[in-house]
Structures are given as structure tokens and as C-alpha cells.
Amino acid sequence: MGPTHAYGYQWPPAGTLARTLLALIVVLAAGCSRPDTLTTVKAEGVLHVITRNAPSIYYQDREGPTGYDYELVQRFADHLGVELRVRLADGNTDILSVLDQGYAHIGFTGLSVGNDWGERFRSLANGLKSRSIVIYHRGGDYPGTAEDLAADGVVVHVAGESNHLRHLEGLKQQLPAFRYQIHPGLDAAGILQRVETGEFSAAVVDANELALNQVFYPDVKRGFSIGDQESIAWLFPASHDDSLYREAETFLEAISEDGTLAHLRERFYGHLDQLGYVGSLTFEKHLRERLPEYLDLFRRHGEETGIDWRLLAAIGYQESNWRRNAVSKTGVRGLMMLTRNTANHIGIDNRLNPEQSIEGGARYFRQVHRMIPNDVPEPDRTWFALASYNVGFGHLEDARRLAESAGRNPHRWLDVKEFLPLLAQKEWYSKTRHGYARGHEPVIYVQNIRRYYDVLSHRFEPQRERTLTAGTSTGELVIPSASNDYQNETGPREQTTTLVLPREMGITPPTL
């Protein structure tokens, strides 16, 4: 491997250099002075992309890298027949600097084609459009117009390095009383969080970012838009020739015509309401109509793995609403919604087979639970395992470290769940080992499963099966005590739930 540039760019290894030299010789023999960018990319076998963490662009989930732009450029790299190498920058300033120096072929900033790039970059619409939206706290008055904000003296807050600044400056020129404040250290999640808490009365965010995060910020209300809808841009260095740009343009036109682009938009933006809570009436209906078909399977594999079958059933309901043919936008499928890598690792051939899916989910949860430190007491250890099952062990550990650094208890879910959502904010995830995560999702995930588990515990008698538990040095089978009360965030005691889970479980699955 060659030397690494300050921004993470690595010079090609020896084999790549050999291929590049061969391409140069071929082109020189044809009478040309040097190969164009497209030829060089194909000869080296690598497409270099520079980007940043953002839910609408690129992030890591439990299945690996994802995000609209990431999935799109991966398809482009496959089209070229080359490897995709993604480098993460701290922000758009760094991305633009890397592109200015020609150290990457394409940059993703989330900025629009409407920006004045001068002679620096060629911009190409990526198939997404968005606009700048004024948001406000639910408890405040609805700001119908910019004139209302100016008249009321409301300061509008905005993240730095965004599409919104030129729109806000335009309003400022039209309305001298209009005020806005730029926050260079915040991203969209940081702005949304401060509107949610009421620290900011009003702000401006990207419509796509708002759509992706709205469920996590129920006290944030959408106001009016400023500026027209604009296409989001891929940026190509103007210092490179336009051969790669033209190939990308042709590629995007082709997948727009064959429906691939529309399918990708649907995958990331078509079902955003699926993260909402399932109503109690719907759950009761599914208890009567769907659970009986799988009840024996949950009981059998719960007994085999030493996990309370009602917990397995609650996980299955959260994952798929007990639908055997469920398929997510990312291709996770089956009643327990296993990834392909997880299914392969635990030896599951058919994820759509309910018995295999439930067996695989039970075995996978055993492995995840095993990773949680032994000194975390129950039921918190189970809540941590559920969060890890959803977002990945590394991100959970990041949240625990943040909690500990703030003087909170890293062994207590009540404390750690306050820090998981911070992993979506740049000011926090930049301090962690594993970076950005949609940290609100595991909090909602655990909360939902606990609700479903409580209902199942009421509807069905406590589990009769004896299970090996912590502290039994002789290996004797005992039934755990039901004495652990769990304190929720508001103080009152919740109903006691005894989760029958083994202390020693299998190996670490590769998907984590």
C-alpha cells in the first residue's frame, strides 16, 4: 500500500501503478499525451470518493455502509468495473479542499447544483431534490412568513456549510430586520435537537434531512420553505477532464430511464413513517390473528436457546409485525428480519422460512447478549443487547463511553439511552470511535419491544422453562427471581419483567 495523504487519500499500490503505467504506454503508443480521467480510473481499478457522515448521504448501520449517495455511487463503480473507496471528511470545507487538490474523483456534500462553483467544480444532479425549510418548536407560534419572523424579532438558526445561507442572505437584503445566526460546529441533527428542546425558537434545515429525522423530534414543526426546490449535486474537480463526469451523466440518465433511480429514492425516502409506533389496537389484532401460527416456534426456540420466548416474540413483532415474507428497504428479510451475512454466519439457508428465521434470530440474540459486559445487571443488560442488535455493538459502546465521560452510569440503560441519539450529531460522533449512527432508532426499538413484552407477559403465564442463569457455579438450573424493578425516566416504577437469559453465550457475529 502506498503512502497516505493527510486527507486519507492513499497513493496506488505497486500493482495499481503497474496497470496505470501499462495504460499510459498503450495510450502513448496511440499518439496521445496522457490518458483521460475515465481511462485512468479503469486502469487503476479504483474510484475515489470523498464525503461526510449524514443520513441522506453516507453512514454506517448494522449492515455496513449505506446512504442514498453511497448506494448510488456503488452502482456507478460496479458499472465501471472498479472498486469504490470512500474517504470521510470532517465537513464540507475539507471535502471541497480535497476536490480542489484533485485528490478524489467525486465529492458528496449535500449541496445543490444551484451554488456558484465558478471554475472549481462540475456539478451533476444526483436524482434527489430538496429545499430549505423553516422549522420551529411545537409550543411556539406558527411563523407563516419571513416577515412574521422579522416582526417578532425571532432569530433563525442555521448550520454552517449548508445550502440555506444564500437564501437567508437574500431574505436579509429584502428584510433588514430579519436576523439569522450561523453555527459552524453544528449539523442538521444538532439544529433539530435544539429546536426540539426549545433552545432555538426557529431554524432552517434541508427538507430531506427533516423527513429522515422527523420521527425522532416530535416537538419540531415544519413551517414554510425559502427558495425553490433544487437538485442535490455530485461534484467533480474542474482540474480533471470531463470524461468521468460525462460517463456519470450517461449512467444516471440510464438508471433514471430504467427505474433504478426511482427505486433507490423509494428505498430511502418512501417509507419514513415505518419508524412510528404501532398502535395498541393493531397489536391486539395481530396477537389474535398472527401470533398463534408462530407461538409453538417461539416457545421451542426460546427453550432451546434459554431465552424467554415472549422476548423473542416481541423482537419478531418489532422487526416484521410477525410477517413471514417481510422485506425491508435494505433487503433484510423474514419474520426476524435477518441480514444475509447474519443468516450465513449462523447457518440459516432460507430467511423467509419462519422456523429458520426464528431459530436464527434466537441464536443471533444470544451472541449479541454475550457481548454485553458481565457486570451490567439485568434487565439493563437485555436492553443493551436489544440496542446492540439494532444499531451494532460498536455504536452502543460509543454511547456508553459518552455517558461515562459525562459522569453518568454506563451500566444503566436509563443513562445510556440519553447519549445514543447524540451519535447522530457531528459535535458528538466526531469524538467517538465508530462515528455516526442513527442513535434514536435503538432507543425507540428498545422502548417498543419492552411494551410488546409487557403485553405478552400479561397475556401469557410466566415462562415455566428453567434456564441457566448468572451466578450458578454448579450448573444447577434455577428460575430467576422476579425482584428487579426498573425505574423509567419519569421516576415511577414500571411493571417488573423477569427476562430469562443465559449469561454465557456464543461468538461475535461478523455483522457487528
Q: Catalytic residue numbers?
A: 319
Residue 197, all three cell numbers: 428542546
First to last CA, the chain: 26
Residue 424 Cα distances to 54, 430, 435, 488, angstroms: 8, 10, 9, 23
Residue 377, all three cell numbers: 445487571
The backbone region for 328, taken as left when phi is positive above 0, alpha when psi lies in -120 to 50, beta otherwise, is beta
- Integer Cα distance of 153 and 134 in angstroms: 15
Report DSSP state, residue 467: B
Residue 362, all three cell numbers: 434466537
Q: Strand pairing partners for 84? A: 47
- Integer Cα distance of 374 and 233 in angstroms: 48
- Determine how β-strand 179-183 pairs with β-strand 155-159: parallel
> CB of 335 within 8 A of CB of 357?
yes
- Integer Cα distance of 182 and 207 in angstroms: 18
21 burial via Cβ count (<10 Å: 0-12, 13-18, 19+): exposed
